[in-house]
Amino acid sequence: MPFGKQTARPLITLGALGAVTALALTGCASTSSSATDDATDSGKVARVSITLTNDGSDACAVSTTKVPAGPVTFTVKNESSSAITEVELLQDQRIFGEKENLAPGLAAVSFTSTLGGGKYQVYCPGAEQELTDFTVTGSVASTKGSSAASLLEDGATGYSKYVDAQVSDMVTAVKQLQTDVDAGDLDAAKQDYAEARPYYEHVESDVDGFVKKGFKATDNAGNLDYLIDMRASNLDPAVGWSGFHAVERDLFEKGAITASTKDLAADLTTNVELLAKLVPTLDYKPEDLANGAAGLLEEVQSNKITGEEEAYSHIDLVDLAANVEGARQAFAYLKPGLTKTDPTLTKQIAAQFDTTNTMMDDFRNADDLGGFDSWTDATKSEHANAISQRVQALQDPLSRLAEKVATA
């Protein structure tokens, strides 16, 4: 759940939009308590390193526990821990920033949040000590009157409407999927599935902080994103399987619509309708859009290129293109303000998006589901490395975006 309402984004519970769900947290290791260790100022940005290791036990080491108020960039690197795959920054049960899918050996990733003075916590689920107290001193300087800042805020407001529209369209598409599943029309349901998936993939980084009323945020049984988008690779046996990919399994692997498939489709409709009710309660800061765009490209690298996401339908290129498009939309809404802040970086990112989109056009295929080539083993073997390198070339300048907009 990389970003949402970072002013802050609450873990919103269904049926009680103003309430937040308590987190069951217990401890996180820190290597120091001084802001001068790694949280040195670079211009207006404080920096914090978080390192995940396993040297006999799984540890989450935070380079400093005190920084001045303002934009803070957290860089997370998993060196050797298989138990810790996620890091969150929390305050009063609210998520201010997060990185997921932190497999050992992957390149470091980062997020930037503008933090006011107060007490926060770095949460590393799976660490021997999961929680580190984190202090922000002072207050954030006002950016009122800055034309760049005003344009960026306008972009964030406009982007929220884009997210609302994507989720609304997803509800319509999922209802059509349920209709054809209920009718027993296997071919139509497969087509519906492929048409519904991009809506979620466009905005998944924006809408995954919701927890059902009565559940803890750490309980997958109440995590709305998990219930909608769980995969075979991250299945929680205690919860069971539901959502898009459970329907995908029946349609594409089993090749049959059963009474169970109809129940799964109905449950998916219920959950996306609930999501649609909650999404309009979110608002965004400009750096939320930047962090989310980076998160979508990390999804490409960790789940889409590997073929893990669409294990039965093999429409991974549909999802991959949707992730890139979602990131491009976030950038587009920031572009007017970013052009005033850093025109060179703006041009560089825009050019990388153009090149990436041109590459994806080579895989368009009107005869395959979702309009892209099927991500078969042969296609993956031939093209996965080139796609990964192309996305990385986009990721590199895009990763600098959050700091730029947070300091405008």
73 or 107: whose pLDDT is higher? 73
Residues 239 and 345 in one domain: yes
72, 102, 137 — which closes off a domain?
A: 137
pLDDT single digits (tens) 304-316: 999 999 999 999 9
Domain count, the chain: 2
Is the predicted pLDDT of residue 208 greater than 60, yes or no?
Answer: yes
What average pLDDT score do residues 134-146 get?
80
Residue 212 is predicted with a pLDDT of 87
Q: Report the C-alpha gap between 144 and 385 in whole angstroms.
A: 45
Residue 408 is predicted with a pLDDT of 85
Quick check: is 241 in a domain? yes
Kindly state the DSSP code that residue 45 receives in the 8-state scheme: B
Q: Which residue has the tokens 């107060």?
A: 118
Q: Report the C-alpha gap between 60 and 50 in whole angstroms.
A: 7
Residue 143 is predicted with a pLDDT of 63
Residues 73 and 183 in one domain: no
Quick check: is 3 in a domain? no
Residues 197 and 235 in one domain: yes
Question: Are 138 and 69 spatial neighbours (Cβ–Cβ below 8 Å)?
Answer: yes
pLDDT single digits (tens) 27-44: 344 433 334 334 344 458
Q: Model confidence at 101, in pLDDT bands (50, 70, 90)?
A: confident
Residue 93 is predicted with a pLDDT of 61
Residues 61 and 204 in one domain: no
* Residues present in the chain in total: 408
Quick check: is 63 in a domain? yes
Burial class of 237 by CB neighbour count within 10 A (0 to 12, 13 to 18, 19+): exposed
Q: Shortest CA distance to 135 belongs to which of 65, 42, 41?
A: 65
Residue 42 is predicted with a pLDDT of 45
Give percent of the chain above pLDDT 70: 88
Quick check: is 245 in a domain? yes
Q: Report the C-alpha gap between 144 and 152 in whole angstroms.
A: 12
Residues 90 and 174 in one domain: no
φ, ψ for residue 43 (rounded to 5)? 70, -120
Residues 83 and 101 in one domain: yes
Helix axes 147-182, 186-203, angle to 10 degrees: 160
What's the CATH code of the domain at 40?
2.60.40.420
Give one word for 170, left, alpha or beta, with left for phi > 0 and alpha for psi -120 to 50: alpha
Helices (H), 204-243: 224-229
Quick check: is 165 in a domain? yes
137, 172, 196 — which closes off a domain?
A: 137
Question: Are 209 and 11 spatial neighbours (Cβ–Cβ below 8 Å)?
Answer: yes
What average pLDDT score do residues 151-167 get?
94
107, 137, 167 — which closes off a domain?
A: 137
Quick check: is 370 in a domain? yes
Residues 133 and 152 in one domain: no
pLDDT single digits (tens) 181-196: 999 999 999 999 999 9
Cα–Cα distances in Å, from 361 out to 257, 299, 357? 33, 20, 6
Residues of the domain holding 97:
9-137
What average pLDDT score do residues 228-246 get?
91
Residues 124 and 167 in one domain: no
Residues 157 and 121 in one domain: no
Give the pair of three-digit tokens for residue 158.
Answer: 């406009």
Mean pLDDT across the chain: 87
Residues 111 and 154 in one domain: no
Residue 220 is predicted with a pLDDT of 87
Where does 92-215 show beta strands of DSSP type E? 94-99, 109-115, 118-123, 131-137
Residue 144 is predicted with a pLDDT of 61
Residues 87 and 119 in one domain: yes
Does residue 193 sit in helix, strand or coil?
helix
What's the CATH code of the domain at 255?
1.20.1420.20
Give the pair of three-digit tokens for residue 111.
Answer: 């997020």
pLDDT single digits (tens) 220-236: 898 899 999 999 888 88
Beta bridge partners of 136: 67, 118
Most trustworthy range by pLDDT among 56-70, 96-110, 216-230: 56-70
Cα–Cα distances in Å, from 69 out to 2, 87, 254? 21, 20, 54
Q: Shortest CA distance to 404 belongs to which of 89, 45, 3?
A: 45
Question: Are 120 and 50 spatial neighbours (Cβ–Cβ below 8 Å)?
Answer: no
Residues 88 and 188 in one domain: no
Quick check: is 2 in a domain? no
Quick check: is 4 in a domain? no
